[in-house]
Amino acid sequence: MEDYILGDAFGAVVRAELEKELNRRGLAGTKKQKKNEEEDLYDLWLNKEAIFGTGSYHDDISIAYSLREKAYHELEQQNEILMKRIERLEKFVETELRKPIPDENENLGMKDENLDLSEKEDSAPLDDANVSIDDYKLENPQVASCDGEDEESTKNNEEADNTKNCWSISCKRSTEGGTEFTSTTFLPEDIYTMMMCANPCSKKDWTGLHVWIIGVLTFLLQVGLSIVILLELALGDPYPLERQGVLIRIGQGAVILLCVLFQQDLIDAVRILSLLVVTTEWKELIGFSSEIDPSIVNIERFDGVKIPCLTCLYYEEDLTEEEKQKRDFVRSMWRDRRAFFFRVFVPNLLKMLQSVIVLFLIFIVVIYTDNLLDLVKDFTALFIISEIDEKIFELVDDSYFGPRLQNEAQSSKEKTIQVDKNNRYGYRLRSALVLFFICTSFVIWGCFVHTQIIGGLWKSAYLNLKYPKCKEHVKELSIFNFTSIDFRDFDKNLSNFDKNFSNAFEVAFSNGQCDTDFNVQVCGYDGNDCSVDHHPLCQVPDSDRIGDGFCDGGEYNTADCAWDGGDCTFYNRQYRDQGCEVPVPSLLNNKICDGYVYNTFECKFDGGDCAPGSIFN
């Protein structure tokens, strides 16, 4: 058979085996070196008694041609299988050429048994798919082969399972440069993989376009849900800058790490791009064929050849043959790049974008949560958004969108990628990106924690936004000098109050100590420093009365209860510290003169209610 049908490497193997056979039988002649097909057949006819037996020359020629036509017909039917086997044979020939030349006594050894074309009439080299399997050492000895096209591998369920789990098989073979690792991996089962394998511009049917429409709608659904939740968080309460406990911070750090590691869409997109960007397997994966194969073009011969304008008008006869070839080669190269960008890069880019947005959403929700149980629940609930693309794929695979889309889903599940484990570029790229996202997440989270502990301009703006009435409360205290904050020149220059208040509130807020000036509800109980949760010794009949805005006195107005949750702070400084003890402090200065113990000098005559002209109770 001719070399352009079988490939140069395989044709060389056939000629080499023919020459070895003639040499071994002592029938080699000078004519065997001729490359004309009929002369080669004539050489065989001259020695037909030793090789083919008796018969006329023309009969042998007719038989040879009929066999060739039959082989052509079979090759046309199994072209895809043939090309893969030729590729394996080329690799085998390359490996054999690297090995040292054996001794003459070993010519009839194992190597001749692997590719003895003359004696193995029942199995031609084309049908021997595992011709070089002896050179490999399988890590899993229970599986002999992972060839998806082998018809015998589907005879029973056990062998079918081996074919399905082919991705777990890793083969080794020794070369001069070291150990070469090869394996097969399946594509992830999601709608973005279907987009990569489907052609939206197909002229045969609209199936590929329908797949892309479903994929884009899925992307918009995932991103839309994430943006809606982010807007709700942005329009709600600001980020909590109250000091959090150690367990909450440990839980936040663990959940942030799990967010990156469990974001499978992000890892899959990076893995697929890193595997396909350095090879040409993406063409076979998406069913794309180049007009000119760059691997068989000698690019060096184009050096110095001017590329003609691809969009200009010119006469074809004005171009030289090399200019035409270079023009066609450049056009084919750009066509390949456009196909890779739109068919491979865009679907994986959409997957990465939605994955990063969902990751950012989970990160924001995590740092907003101040309860460990709510932290785990929010993380689990929001992670469903990143699983929408896989659920849509399952619906398509179950024929919810019709049989044609179901066939596309099943076809994408059967697509595989040959993984070269010596591809250090791909592994380094994947590891670097995952490490980048982990480090970025922890750096941002660390900035939030640093703001909670130390503060800064962001904290000052946050406090003024979340507690706008706290400033008015402190201003009322400062008028009567009932505050420990140093508001210098307050009466002379009111503008200094805003600056001093912001500085004092920022330092005192959530610093682990209860500052009575901010121990009120409008100031957030000093960032939970004075909240009831921080005072377990407070034993009162009704804890809801603590911090309700009314000073209840009695057992509520104690240090264990943080002075009624801050409600009695003003009363204690203005009245009780002066010797005024009353059962209901809220009756003081209520515009009604209550008399008795309230109408005393220590109580400032019921806080001014019992002055002449007042209403007496």
Query: Based on the domain organization, do 254 and 370 belong to the same domain?
Result: yes
Query: Based on the domain organization, do 117 and 78 belong to the same domain?
Result: yes
Query: Based on the domain organization, do 112 and 248 belong to the same domain?
Result: no
Closest CA to 344 of 334, 336, 356: 336
Distance (Å) of CA 48 to CA 39, 44, 426: 14, 6, 55
pLDDT at 219 over 90: yes
Distance (Å) of CA 198 to CA 263, 291, 476, 595: 25, 20, 71, 89
What's the mean pLDDT in 377-392? Answer: 85
Distance between the two ends of the chain, CA-based, in angstroms? Answer: 121
Q: Would you state the structure tokens that stand for residue 234, as one six-digit string? A: 């942005």
What pTM value is reported for the model?
A: 0.48
Q: What was the pLDDT predicted at 146? A: 37
Q: What percent of the chain has pLDDT over 90?
A: 4
Q: Report yes or no: 570 and 585 within 8 Å, Cβ to Cβ.
A: no
On whether residue 603 sits in a domain, the answer given is no
Q: What was the pLDDT predicted at 583? A: 75
Confidence of residue 452 (pLDDT cuts 50, 70, 90): low
Q: Would you state the structure tokens that stand for residue 505, as one six-digit string? A: 């509130």
Query: Based on the domain organization, do 351 and 388 belong to the same domain?
Result: yes
Confidence of residue 213 (pLDDT cuts 50, 70, 90): very high
CA distance linking residue 134 with residue 603, whole number of Å: 104
The residue that leads in pLDDT, 410 or 136, is: 410
Strand order across the 416-420 sheet: 137-138, 170-175, 178-186, 416-420
pLDDT at 297 over 60: no
The residue that leads in pLDDT, 541 or 549, is: 549
On whether residue 397 sits in a domain, the answer given is yes
Query: Based on the domain organization, do 439 and 299 belong to the same domain?
Result: yes
Closest CA to 196 of 353, 419, 415: 415
CA distance linking residue 240 with residue 248, whole number of Å: 13
What's the mean pLDDT in 461-475? Answer: 67
Query: Based on the domain organization, do 439 and 291 belong to the same domain?
Result: yes
Q: What was the pLDDT predicted at 291? A: 54
Query: Based on the domain organization, do 280 and 393 belong to the same domain?
Result: yes
On whether residue 596 sits in a domain, the answer given is no
Q: What is the DSSP letter of 113?
A: H
Query: Based on the domain organization, do 107 and 234 belong to the same domain?
Result: no
Q: Report yes or no: 57 and 32 within 8 Å, Cβ to Cβ.
A: no
The residue that leads in pLDDT, 67 or 554, is: 554
CA distance linking residue 93 with residue 177, whole number of Å: 17
Confidence of residue 31 (pLDDT cuts 50, 70, 90): very low
Residues 6+ apart with CB under 8 A from 130: 145, 147
CA distance linking residue 106 with residue 116, whole number of Å: 14
Let me know how long the chain is: 617
Query: Based on the domain organization, do 274 and 366 belong to the same domain?
Result: yes
Domain termination site, one of 130, 153, 182: 130
Strand partners, 183: 170, 419
On whether residue 140 sits in a domain, the answer given is no
**What backbone torsions phi and psi does residue 178 show, to the nearest 5 degrees?**
130, -155
44-53, 61-70, 115-124: lowest mean pLDDT where?
A: 115-124
Instruction: Kindly state the helix (H) or strand (E) to which residue 416 belongs, with its residue range.
Output: strand 416-420
Residue type, 140: N
What's the mean pLDDT in 255-275? Answer: 82
Q: What was the pLDDT predicted at 367? A: 77
Count CA atoms within 13 Å of residue 214 on its CB side. 30
Query: Based on the domain organization, do 11 and 118 belong to the same domain?
Result: yes
Residues 6+ apart with CB under 8 A from 292: 328, 329, 332
Query: Based on the domain organization, do 404 and 538 belong to the same domain?
Result: no
On whether residue 155 sits in a domain, the answer given is no
The residue that leads in pLDDT, 448 or 180, is: 448
CB-neighbour burial class of residue 116 (10 A; exposed 0-12, middle 13-18, buried 19+): middle
Q: Report yes or no: 191 and 215 within 8 Å, Cβ to Cβ.
A: yes
Q: Would you state the structure tokens that stand for residue 196, as one six-digit string? A: 């990569």
On whether residue 431 sits in a domain, the answer given is yes
3-state DSSP call for residue 501?
helix
Domain termination site, one of 130, 149, 171: 130
Q: What was the pLDDT predicted at 347? A: 92
CA distance linking residue 60 with residue 19, whole number of Å: 19
Instruction: Kindly state the helix (H) or strand (E) to which residue 170 belongs, with its residue range.
Output: strand 170-175
Q: What was the pLDDT predicted at 178? A: 43
Query: Based on the domain organization, do 341 and 426 belong to the same domain?
Result: yes
Domain termination site, one of 425, 449, 473: 449
Q: What is the DSSP string of 438-475?
A: HHHHHHHHHHHHHHHHT--HHHHHHHHHH-TTHHHHHH
What's the mean pLDDT in 294-309? Answer: 48
Q: What angle do CA 457, 459, 461 make, to 5 degrees?
A: 70
What's the mean pLDDT in 44-68? Answer: 50
Q: Give 153-169 pLDDT, tens digit per residue.
A: 444 444 434 333 333 33
Instruction: Kindly state the helix (H) or strand (E) to which residue 183 belongs, with its residue range.
Output: strand 178-186
Instruction: Quote the number of domains for the chain.
Output: 3
The residue that leads in pLDDT, 228 or 88, is: 228
On whether residue 493 sits in a domain, the answer given is yes
Domain that residue 520 falls in: 457-574
How do beta strands 170-175 and 178-186 pair?
antiparallel
Q: What was the pLDDT predicted at 365? A: 82
CA distance linking residue 44 with residue 46, whole number of Å: 5
Confidence of residue 107 (pLDDT cuts 50, 70, 90): very low
CA distance linking residue 324 with residue 558, whole number of Å: 96
Q: What is the DSSP string of 204-221?
A: S-SHHHHHHHHHHHHHHH
Give per-residue burial for 216-250: e unless 16+ CB within 10 Å, then b: eebbeebbebbeebeeeeeeeeebbbebbeeeeee
On whether residue 602 sits in a domain, the answer given is no
Give 513-548 as a 3 state SS string.
CCCHHHCCHHHHHHHCCCCHHHCCCCCCCCHHHCCC
Helices (H), 182-206: 191-197
CA distance linking residue 404 with residue 383, whole number of Å: 30
